[in-house]
Structure 1
Amino acid sequence: MKRSRINEIMAEADDFIRSFGFVLPPFAYWTPEEMAEKRDVARAVFEGRLGWDITDYGQGKYDELGLFLFTLRNGRLSDLQAGGGMCYAEKLLISNKDQISPMHRHYLKAEDIINRGGASLAIELFGSAPDGSCDPEAGGVVMCDGIARRFKPGEVLLFRPGESVTLMPGDWHAFWGEGGDVLIGEVSTVNNDETDNWFREPIGRFAEIEEDVAPTHLLASDYGAWIEAR
């Protein structure tokens, strides 16, 4: 993805989020220079990989295969392993009309996916095979706002604003905006996007970036090169 397109998506996403009464935290608006200056006092931002996350999964087709995310808070794996402390994470996502977030599951993370506003959120579901891979013949059960709902393999569930689904590790899922763009909330256990995603197809989690212009704000995936290496 070109950095200029990423900058545009950030501005568009900020407007979309604000249209539903949400406002991103102050660090969302720091320039790269401010990020570098605050690297000591804001160490938790960098260590938790909080902030902007825009991906085309390395495929170069963001409008068809992509996702906008912003990590608002993220706990510590050590707390989760110890059984107490900051064991949770929260994100805002934007899934555009017919923009696919491809079929995947998580190894560790359980997550509530919540339609916060806009169009319907479509989620396609499969169960796991004994080895954890996606089983085209397996369905399962998910909790939808506290109500158990059985799904057939490949069934697409639709969630209107205010509705949600709880996905457990092993629940294979792909999603998109049905009929329009959707603002999505994600509340989950501790999140590590570098290690906790298993995609059905051999694709990457992060975008490959062409630096055609300077970044307006850094992506979380930029922190290593722009902050930690300086």
Structure 2
Amino acid sequence: MKRSEINRYILETGDFFTRHGFYLPVWAQWSPQEWETKGPECREVVTNGLGWDITDFGSNDFLHEGLALVTLRNGNIRLDRKPYCEKIMMVRKGQVTPIHFHWKKMEDIINRGGGELCMRLWQADADEELSDKPCTVRLDGVETTVPAGETLRLAKGRSITFTPYLYHTFWAEGEDCLVGEVSTVNDDTNDNRFYTPLGRYPAIDEDEPARFLLCNEYPTLK
């Protein structure tokens, strides 16, 4: 991805959150120059991977296969006792997050507003392939069985729980969708199993200066 694209998508995503009445922490607005002045008081933000995450999953086609999100809070199994994570996402209309599961993380995904949040689910088999067996999930806490690979639609306010080893892919229909995530500790470096191997973070063409830093770009704290 070009840095100019990342800059633009961060601004667009921030505006989208604000229009839906969702407001970000102050550090989401800090410039790279402001980050250079920060010290140990920001250690949790840096070490636990809080902040902006704009990715095209290596597709070079962000608007069709990509995701924009902010990790708002997160634990770190090596450094603290916080056992939970929260994210907020902008899932654009027709923009797909590729098929993947997590070995450890359990997460609730919530449609907070905008369009319909659509998804397809498959249970992983013993070889981590897509099983054709039905998936038993919880929708707003209610146990529900859905056919493997069938499109499931979440209207505004509805949620689903993804358990480990449950493959999922999602996108928005109708209009862009504000999506929340509440989960156990998130580890994007070691806990993503994409069905088709791909990159979690984008390679960046620095065609202009960064206006904001991504969650994997913070400087060493002073």
Short-chain TM bin = over 0.9
Aligned to 1:182, which of 159, 177, 185?
177
User: Which position in structure 1 is the counterpart of 2:62?
Assistant: 62
Query: Could you tell me how far apart the structure 1 residues matched to 2:151 and 2:117 are?
Result: 10
How many Å apart are 1:228 and its aligned residue? 2.5
Distance in 2 of aligned mates of 1:215 and 1:38? 17
Q: Is the 8 A contact 2:116 2:156 kept in 1?
A: yes
**SS of aligned partner of 2:216:** helix
- Map residues 51-200 of structure 1 onto 2, 5 A cutoff: 51-78=51-78, 85-131=81-127, 133-200=128-195
> How far did 1:215 drift?
0.7
State the 1:139 CA deviation.
2.3
CA offset at residue 76 of structure 1? 2.3
Change (3 A) 1:9 1:218: same
Q: Distance in 1 between matches of 2:40 and 2:12?
A: 30
Letter in 1 for 2:141: G
Say which of 197, 204, 207 aligns to 1:212: 207
Q: Secondary structure at the match of 2:36?
A: helix
Alpha-carbon distance, 1:59 to partner = 1.4
The number of residue pairs the alignment matches comes to 222
For residue 186 of structure 2, give the secondary structure of its aligned residue in structure 1. coil
Instruction: Report if the CA contact (8 A) 1:136-1:154 is conserved.
Output: no
Query: Any gaps of 5 or more consecutive residues in structure 2?
Result: none
Asked if 1 retains the 8 angstrom alpha-carbon contact of 2:53 and 2:69, the reply is: yes
Superposition deviation, residue 134 in structure 1:
3.0
The answer on 1:228 being equivalent to 2:215 is: no
- Is there any run of 5+ residues in structure 1 with no aligned partner, and where? none
Could you tell me which residue of structure 2 aligns to residue 24 of structure 1?
A: 24
For the residues of structure 1 that align with 2:221 and 2:204, how far apart are their CA atoms? 18
Q: Which residue pairs with 2:38 in the alignment?
A: 38
- What's the offset of the Cα at 1:176? 0.2
Q: Distance in 2 between matches of 1:200 and 1:125?
A: 12
Cα distance in 2 between the residues matched to 1:221 and 1:192: 12
Using the aligned pairs only, state the percent identity. 42
List 4+ stretches of structure 1 deviating above 3 A: none
Structure 2 match to 1:10: 10
1:39 positional shift = 3.5
